[in-house]
Amino acid sequence: MSNQRSVRTRRGAYVALLALMVLAPMAVAGYKLYALDYPLAGLIPAPSYTVEVNMQVDGHGEDIRIQTYLPKTDARQSVDNEESSTGVFVSSIHSDSLNREVSWNAENVAGQQSLRYAYSVRAHHVRYEIPEGIPIPESYSPALAPFLADEPGIHRDDPQIARALDSIVPAENRTVLDVLTRIHRHLQDNIANRNFSGYTDSLTALKLGEASCNGKSRLFVAMARKLNIPARLIGGFVMEQGSKRTSHQWVEVYVNGHWVPFDTINDHFAEIPANYLTLYYGDQALFKHTANVNFQYMFKTSKQLVPQRDAQDALSQSALNITNLYAHFERVGISQNLLKILLMLPLGALVTVVFRNVVGLETFGTFLPALIAAAARETGLLWGIVGFLGIVLVSAVIRRGLDWMQLLHSPKMAIVLTTVVIVMMATTVGGVQLGLFELAHVTLFPIAILAITAERVALMEAEQGAMKVARITLMTLVVIAACYAVMDSIFMQSLVLAFPELLLVVVALNLWLGKWIGIRVMEFMRFRRLILESAK
Amino acid sequence: MMGLRAWWSRLEEVRERAGKVLSMNKRNLHYIYTRNQRKHFPLADDKLLAKEVLGKAGVSMPRTHRIYSYFYELRTLESDLSAYEDFVIKPAQGSGGNGIIVIVGRQGDDWVGISGKIYTAFDLRKHISDIIFGIYSFDLGDRAIIESRIVQHAEMSELSPLGLADVRVIMCDERPVMSMTRVPTKQSDGKANLHQGALGIAIDIASGVTTDARFLGQPVEKHPDTGIALLGRTLPYWSEVIELAERAAQAVPLKYLGVDISISPDGPLLLEINVRPGLEIQNVNGRGMLPVLEEITANGEVRDEE
């Protein structure tokens, strides 16, 4: 009977602990979210683009001048990490309220010269709701006069524009929303998209019934201005992974005090996607340069996910904030990076547990895959795996050789470890020599991990043979990759950094898995005859 | 065309069948952890300790001729061993059959191993030194056991001419659950290990009759090397085998066990006990062992409440 009571007590303790591990972190996280206003959306990593503009000219002894526009940080896009290498050119930047124009000047340029300008951009998707029923205003403040005027290429006052408008918009009861919708639809649906790289003015676009982005945009602006709605051209660039020369133009229309974007090439009505980079306002050429210098340019864009630093900074303002907590670690020289690895280890261990107890893969040790995945942060997954395989191979081969000489266990292990250290150092030297810098970071594999791996491999090879080691190595690799995917996820990192109490939920999951008695996937395969074959 | 109803009933059937298989997680959590306390594991891991405890309880085992714990004891090795015609040398804490030498006779001053290999006195002294050093136990220091060699019962030799067959009985709460015999083959290189290619033959616990056989995961009816029929044989001394397994299970505080037994012409002898017996025995028997286990433990609970 006392046995039964102890069983009941233990089960009660288990349930209570499980409940605590779920409810306590939920309560703390809930308090942070609702009472302290933690910005949850700020935890989701945002795409960031690195844009690199490479330019090239051929000089024949003349003075060369190149002008272009650099992006500005505004409410929608933020630009930082600007860097340039301009070679023989001297830069000067001229900013006004809208544009940042850079000019690069060099005297007596001979031969091929190149310039590079790079920056990283994070931008938001923006969408406007234009209220129904707003009539087109009679007049605007004088500051908007330039955005209503006729100008070269934008034939606001040409009768053909007026005639075209007559067939697009109704004569009576014009509202802003209605006329913009009609103009947008007309340009999107009735004027074909063409991939011209040249200049098209508004009348040409109208007459041909087809145009590229600049022709459509000029026609849009001309029509809007004709209807007494201020409008302007925007020059920019659609950020997509890869290299290209194509820039882009779209328009902004002044509605109710806001400049509202429209793009009739890609059908964005009153909205602009997060990968549009604004470079300049007005009907400008993106590049201006001295003639006959064989000017070439190329945009190269790469995309990566980055934590939203402003959101994380905002956290430091609230009570119970995490940055203060982490400051303690920084005071003793433990960087947030190392801390992140530490915080992600429990997640890696959880992934390993799932693979071992639910899937049924065998791995070298319970924590080894998570540790290797953490170590692989420095090298990247591929070289991390190469490094891991290297350790396994070297350990197994050395162990074989030493076994043949019949040595005692501990000194043998010490020799295995020493050899592994030497091989890792040689790998680093070799990596640097060959320019494989990721590989060179293999030395950063923490030595404790090397030691555990080497010993486990050597032991297992002795006890269960090389085939078994090969099989478990393969399964361990699968689990390492899974751990890496979880531990390297910026979302997971941001989440755990902001809500370290979630580690208790990891404990709760392990508590649950610790009582999970189902058949592992691999066992299902092993006993498939017993399970699947009918008794018929 | 298989209708939805047929799929459903098939799914139910699979669930029911899967519910009869003892899985690794369930074995560990419900049988090993609850019945075998870790502090008692040395009883299974250290063969000398096991021999002491089981011997006291009257469990028959191969006779221990000698134990070597220190190097100085090896000075008299040659004359010590000359007293025995045949014997087995094994490490007390070895695993997986490593470090075991079986001697079947003498040839002049030398000894002959079971595979025909010749061992000089120097070879044997070296081997025993290695055992004492801990070469086979991943630990500093072990003891070497010299014990009598088991000769198989003639009927077992017919079934298993390539080496010693062992009978594995799974015991839960001192009652037999499932059993099989493991028969070495050419493929397994004389080892009685299923994963290395030994033959697994299921034995009906009540009658001692062989009912099923598996070789490399496939059902077979004949020995892959000798071609003799494997099924429908009754193992000799079967009731004594089960009795021995029960006595061993009663003698130790470990209540979920694999008991390994060999059958000699004079009756069964216990080889060793295992605290983490494998699950492959279910495949050999062609059925899961959970129904039997649950019956045993359910009865146990009833007894508890009386």
The answer, yes or no, to whether residue A2 has pLDDT greater than 60, is no
Average pLDDT of chain A, as a whole number:
84
Q: In chain B, positions 187-226, which contact chain A (CB-CB < 8 Å)?
A: none
Whether the Cβ atoms of residue A133 and residue A179 lie closer than 8 Å to each other: no
pLDDT higher than 70, residue A311? no
What is the rounded average pLDDT for all residues in chain B? 89
Give the model's pLDDT for residue A168. 87
Which amino acid appears at position A308 of this protein? Answer: Q
Residue of A nearest to B132 (CA): A408
Residue of B106, B115, B117, B116 lying closest to B78 (CA atoms)? B106
Q: What is the mean pLDDT of residues A238-254?
A: 90
Which carries the bigger pLDDT value, residue A429 or residue A443? A429
Enumerate residues 107 to 166 of chain B having a beta carbon within 8 A of any beta carbon in chain A.
130, 133-135, 138-140
A chain contacts of residue B31, beta-carbon cutoff 8 Å: none
**pLDDT tens for each residue of A108-126:** 988 888 889 989 898 888 9
Say if the Cβ atoms of B14 and A517 lie within 8 Å: no
DSSP secondary structure letter of residue A460: H
Nearest by CB: A523 against B24, B95, B135:
B24
Q: Is A388 within 8 Å of A372 (Cβ atoms)?
A: yes
Query: Do the chains contact at B29 and A515, CB–CB below 8 Å?
Result: yes
Of the residues B14, B16, B24, the best mutation for testing chain A's interface (the one with the most A CB atoms within 10 Å of its CB) is B24
Alpha carbon of B158: minimum distance to chain A alpha carbons (Å):
30
Residues A106 and A64 sit within 8 Å (Cβ to Cβ): yes
pLDDT-based confidence at residue B306 (cuts at 50, 70, 90): very low
- Cα–Cα dist A457/A423, whole Å: 16
- State the smallest CA–CA distance between residue B267 and chain A in angstroms: 32
Out of A421-425, B145-149, B169-173, least confident range: A421-425
> What is the predicted pLDDT for the residue at A536?
38
User: Residue A427 contacts by C-beta under 8 Å, 6 or more apart in sequence?
Assistant: A387, A390, A439, A440, A442, A443
Query: Is residue A138 very low, low, confident or very high in pLDDT (cuts 50, 70, 90)?
Result: confident
Is the separation of the CB atoms in B97 and B193 below 8 Å? Answer: yes
Nearest chain A CA: its distance from B289 CA (Å): 11
pLDDT band for position A41 (50/70/90)?
Answer: low
Q: Which residue has the tokens 């820039």?
A: A247
pLDDT average, residue stretch A39-62: 82
- Does B57 reach chain A within 8 Å, measured CB to CB? no
d(CA B37, CA B95): 20
Chain B nearest-CA residue for A516: B25
* Cβ pair A459:B21 closer than 8 A: no
Average pLDDT over residues A416-427: 83
Give pLDDT, residue B93: 87
Q: What would the mean pLDDT of A187-212 be, rounded to a whole number?
A: 86
Contact B23 A520 (CB under 8 A): yes
Kindly identify which residue of chain A lies nearest to residue B26, measuring between CA atoms. Answer: A517
Are the C-beta atoms of residues A259 and A147 closer than 8 Å to each other?
no
Chain A environment of B17 (Cβ under 8 Å): 530-532
Residue from the list B26, B138, B282 with its beta carbon closest to the beta carbon of A517: B26
Tokens of B8: 């459903």
CA distance B89 to B125: 11
Q: Is B14 on the interface with A (CB under 8 A)?
A: yes
* A526 interaction partners in chain B (CB closer than 8 Å): 279, 283
Can you give the pLDDT at residue A263? 93
pLDDT tens digits for range A12-26: 999 999 999 999 989
Q: Express the helix, strand and coil content of chain A in percent, nearest 5 each.
A: 50, 25, 25
Domains and CATH numbers, chain A: 46-124+302-306 (no CATH), 126-273 (3.10.620.30), 335-498 (no CATH)
Mean pLDDT of A477-486: 92
- Residue A174 tokens, joined: 């014009």
Q: Is residue B224 a contact partner of residue B215, using CB atoms and an 8 Å limit? A: yes
- What is the distance between the alpha carbons of residues B152 and A387, in angstroms, rounded to a whole number? 51
Is A3–B304 a contact, with Cβ atoms under 8 angstroms apart?
Answer: yes
Q: What is the domain class of B64-147 according to CATH? A: alpha beta
In this structure, chain A runs to a length of 536
Q: What pLDDT, on a 0 to 100 scale, did the predictor assign at position B304?
A: 37
Q: Which of A32, A48, A49, A43 is nearest to A489 (CA)?
A: A43
pLDDT, tens digit, 9 for 90 and up, residues B89-107: 999 987 767 788 999 999 8
Looking at the predicted structure, is the pLDDT value of residue B242 above 80? yes
* Interface residue of B16, B25, B28, B142 to substitute, partner A, most A CBs within 10 Å: B25
Nearest by CB to residue B29, choosing from A3, A517, A520, is A517
Looking at residue B207, what is its pLDDT? 95
Determine the pLDDT at residue A387: 80
Q: Which residues of B touch A464 (CB under 8 A)?
A: 96
Q: Is residue A469 predicted with pLDDT exceeding 50?
A: yes
- The angle at the Cα of B70, spanning B64 to B73, to the nearest 5 degrees, equals 70
Local confidence band at A152 (pLDDT 50, 70, 90 cut-offs): very high
| A-chain residue closest to B302, CA distance | A1
User: What ranges do the domains of chain B cover?
Assistant: 23-45+152-305, 64-147
Segment A394-401 shows an average pLDDT of 81
**Is a pLDDT exceeding 60 seen at residue A322?**
no
d(CA A270, CA A251): 10
Give the residue on A whose Cα is nearest the Cα of B193.
A464
User: Which contacts of B107-114 are long-range, i.e. CB under 8 A and separated by 24 or more positions?
Assistant: B111/B81, B114/B163, B114/B190
* A405 C-beta neighbours (distance < 10 Å), count: 8
Residues in chain B: 306
- The pLDDT of residue A71 is 93
Distance CA B91, CA B94 (A): 5
Sign of CA dihedral A256, A259, A265, A266: negative
Q: What is the pLDDT of residue A238?
A: 92
Half-sphere exposure of A42 (CA within 13 A, CB side): 15
Contacts of B301 in chain A (CB under 8 A): none
Q: Nearest by CB to B21, from A360, A406, A530: name it.
A: A530
Task: Write down the pLDDT at residue B252.
Answer: 94
Spatial contact of A366 and A353, defined as CB atoms under 8 Å apart: yes
> Where does the pLDDT of residue B302 fall: very low under 50, low under 70, confident under 90, or very high at 90 and above?
very low
Contacts of A406 in chain B (CB under 8 A): 130, 135
pLDDT tens string A86-109:
888 998 999 888 899 999 999 998
Rounded CA separation A154/A221 (Å): 7
Please say if the pLDDT value at position B251 is more than 90: yes
Using a pLDDT cut of 70, give the percent of chain B over it. 95
The beta-carbon neighbor of B288 closest among A4, A517, A530 is A530
Name the residue of chain B whose CA is nearest to A7's CA. Answer: B34
Please give the Cα distance from B290 to B274 (Å, whole number). Answer: 19
Q: Is A80 exposed, middle or buried (0-12, 13-18, 19+ CB in 10 A)?
A: exposed
Q: Which top CATH class is B23-45+152-305? A: alpha beta
pLDDT score at A43: 65
Give the per-residue pLDDT at B305. 32
Distance from CA of B246 to the nearest CA of A (A): 24
Contact residues on chain B for A411, CB-CB shorter than 8 A? none
B15, closest residue in chain A (CA to CA): A531
Name the residue with higher pLDDT: A10 or A536: A10
